[in-house]
Amino acid sequence: MARKPTPLSGFPELLPEQRVVEQHVLDTLRRTFELHGFAGIETRAVEPMDQLLRKGDTSKEVYVLRRLQDADSGNDSGIGLHFDLTVPFARYVLENAGKLEFPFRRFQVQKVWRGERPQEGRYREFTQADIDIIGRDTLPTHHDVEVARVMVEALTHLEVLPPFRVQVNNRKLIQGFYAGLGISDSDEVMRLVDKLDKLDADEVRRLLVSEAGASAEQADQALALAAIATADDSFVARVRALGVEHPLLDEGLTELAAVVRGCAPLVSERVQVVADLSIARGLDYYTGTVFETRLEGSEGLGSICSGGRYDALADDGRTTYPGVGISLGVSRVLVPLLARGDVTGSRKVPSAVLVAVADEGAREASDAVATALRARGVPTEVAASAQRFGKQIRYAERRGIPFVWFPAAPGEPGAAHQVKDIRSGDQADADPGTWAPPAQDLRPHVVSTHAATSEGAVR
């Protein structure tokens, strides 16, 4: 006897009405990115293991591929599924540099895979949406401001999301401050300070002294820096007040202030942009601006959108391709909202009209009505069976289809087609060559508890 399949933890699958929401989110992101001139690309799902493990501590997360019949695997050996979109993008830039125009602006929406312990907001297979701007040898820092603004604008358009807070910092600022303090292992100090969202300050202070070799005074100064968070560029004066000086610190302060000022026009009741000097980001390829984003009321998810500046991720030995980018964990933010019922699609199918079938002999006439409606862009399906009309209406109700069409009886002079809005009960004569549903009913739309009104139709 066949057994019911057991779900695989960490590999979320969506119901049709949930997929409506995801498609709306992806379409909104794409439209926003394209409005700012970002070109869409897609990279392969696999990369050589040496490429995947080249940057950052990610070895425990990679899914390694192995063929079942691997005796003659040849070139298929030593490859794994990509765990993010930045590493494959760096490889893509190097391989196609001669065909690209720089600065190269790209967006990319794809699945990625990580061998993490599944929990809310963390999955083994999930969708990411990235934007990056890549330069050749140099990339002006005004692109840091631009990337931040584009992603904030994209998130703002996603009314399915609750209010959110973008936290911005700069690695030059942090490293310059630590250098001014005389700290020898700034990377280790940065790694420990980045744990402040999980550990209290006293524990981090203890670790700074015991593991990073900082003095008690240096640890206190590092924590004082991390405690600074402002919604404007007043953080500059607060850092200066700590009495530490270093050229790299000056550079970082200038760059971070530019990002905060540049994003200020986008701040609203739903959007905060904060200079948060506790943010460092764990990956070692970040060299300047860094971003993290958290949802109000869902801080337990961690950062749902993060990234930053990387000056040497792509390098072919002759040319360096610096870049700046941000990655949105689409599944990370969306799947928990769907699971909690905070957001859903208005119906389970794209159909706006169900054409009823009086009897199987009249199916051809019903098909003709559906063809006429589809020709003008009205999503339409024909009833699966010629049951009583009451059952066909209930079939439409269960799927959320708003209109049922009753074809004119063939062979009856003067007989008219009729269409019924099954929500209100209104029924009227209609011509399949001219009738159309109201615009809000043409496509499924997103219903969100976070928005005052429902989202627009998914296209």
What is the Cα–Cα distance from 87 to 113, expressed in whole angstroms?
13
Q: Where in the sequence is the domain holding 417, given as residue range(s)? A: 353-443
Mean pLDDT computed over every residue of the chain? 91
Token readout for 233 is: 């560029």
Domain presence at residue 77: no
Verify that 262 and 299 share a domain, yes or no. Answer: yes
Contact between 381 and 355 (Cβ < 8 Å): yes
CATH code, domain carrying 264: 3.30.930.10
Verify that 302 and 378 share a domain, yes or no. Answer: no
Contact between 274 and 229 (Cβ < 8 Å): yes
Verify that 325 and 375 share a domain, yes or no. Answer: no
**Domains in the chain: how many in total?**
2
Verify that 236 and 373 share a domain, yes or no. Answer: no
Token readout for 331 is: 């599944």
Helix (H, G, I), strand (E, B) or coil at 104: strand
What is the Cα–Cα distance from 218 to 368, expressed in whole angstroms?
79
What is the Cα–Cα distance from 286 to 214, expressed in whole angstroms?
23
Long-range contacts of 11-16 (CB under 8 A, 24+ apart): 11/123, 11/124, 11/125, 12/123, 12/125, 12/126, 12/331, 12/335, 14/335, 14/338, 15/348, 16/345, 16/348, 16/349
Verify that 194 and 137 share a domain, yes or no. Answer: yes
CATH code, domain carrying 363: 3.40.50.800
Domain presence at residue 249: yes
Q: What is the pLDDT along the chain (459 residues), one digit of tens a residue?
A: 568 888 889 999 999 999 999 999 999 999 999 999 999 999 999 999 888 887 554 556 899 988 877 666 555 568 999 999 999 999 999 999 999 999 999 999 999 999 888 888 889 999 999 999 999 999 999 999 999 999 999 999 998 899 999 999 999 999 999 999 999 888 889 889 888 888 899 999 999 999 999 999 999 999 999 999 999 999 999 999 999 999 999 999 999 999 999 999 999 999 999 999 999 876 678 899 999 999 998 888 889 999 999 998 788 889 999 999 999 999 999 999 999 999 999 999 999 999 999 999 999 999 999 999 999 999 999 999 999 999 999 999 999 999 999 999 876 777 899 999 999 999 999 999 999 999 999 999 999 875 544 444 444
Q: How far from each other are the two terminal CA atoms of the chain, in whole angstroms?
A: 43
In the block, which residue shows the tokens 């959320």?
400
Verify that 250 and 106 share a domain, yes or no. Answer: yes
What is the Cα–Cα distance from 27 to 39, expressed in whole angstroms?
14
Verify that 236 and 276 share a domain, yes or no. Answer: yes
Verify that 337 and 414 share a domain, yes or no. Answer: no
Token readout for 348 is: 């389970």
Verify that 260 and 380 share a domain, yes or no. Answer: no
Verify that 246 and 331 share a domain, yes or no. Answer: yes
Domain boundary among 289, 314, 344: 344
Verify that 34 and 127 share a domain, yes or no. Answer: yes
